[in-house]
């Protein structure tokens, strides 16, 4: 999978090591710009101020959980950022958590620890979905 270098990613995790590993994996895959946020509130601020092509986020965070972050992000009042594709990174991929995440609009779920190859596959699916959505919209223009 070739990832365009112009992609911008936001990595949100309260664990600095998990953020660093995720950012390094994204860079290894060719993502050109990776921004890190250490909490859900910091992610909301980042999403309000600059566009991202994808967001990787943890589910359990102390200030604003992954569920809370998704509720804000997918709210139509949030603006253009509401369409940002999201990859959930979690060590707690229980059936309930995955179902809840999908209901809230998470696009992909990766179980920690994951490999760079697994992340690349998830990114490929998201990029494919985005390309298909853009093609579908152009049909109606």
Mean pLDDT value across residues 89-107: 95
Band (pLDDT 50/70/90 cuts) for residue 3 is low
Task: Delineate the domains of the chain, giving CATH numbers in brackets.
Answer: 8-139 (3.40.50.2300)
- Count of C-beta atoms within a 10 Å radius of residue 84: 21
Task: Using DSSP, state whether 48 is helix, strand or coil.
Answer: helix
Q: Is the pTM of this model over 0.85?
A: yes
pLDDT tens per residue across span 10-49: 999 999 999 999 999 999 999 999 999 999 999 999 999 9
Flag whether pLDDT at 130 surpasses 70: no
What are the CB-based long-range contacts (under 8 Å, 24+) for 112-120?
112/18, 114/89, 116/25, 116/28, 116/29, 119/22, 119/25, 119/26, 119/29, 119/56, 119/87, 120/1, 120/3, 120/29
């Amino acid at each position: 999978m070739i990832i365009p270098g112009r992609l911008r990613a936001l990595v949100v995790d309260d664990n600095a090591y998990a953020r660093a590993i995720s950012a390094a994996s994204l860079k290894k895959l060719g993502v050109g710009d990776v921004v890190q946020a250490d909490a859900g509130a910091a992610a909301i601020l980042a999403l309000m101020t600059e566009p991202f092509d994808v967001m990787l986020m943890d589910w359990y965070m102390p200030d604003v959980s992954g569920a809370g972050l998704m509720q804000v992000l997918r709210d139509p009042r949030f603006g253009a950022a509401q369409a940002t594709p999201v990859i959930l990174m979690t060590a707690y991929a229980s059936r309930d958590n995955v179902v809840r995440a999908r209901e809230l609009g998470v696009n992909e779920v990766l179980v920690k620890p994951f490999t760079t190859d697994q992340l690349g596959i998830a990114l490929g699916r998201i990029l494919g979905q985005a390309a298909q959505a853009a093609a579908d919209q152009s049909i109606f223009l």
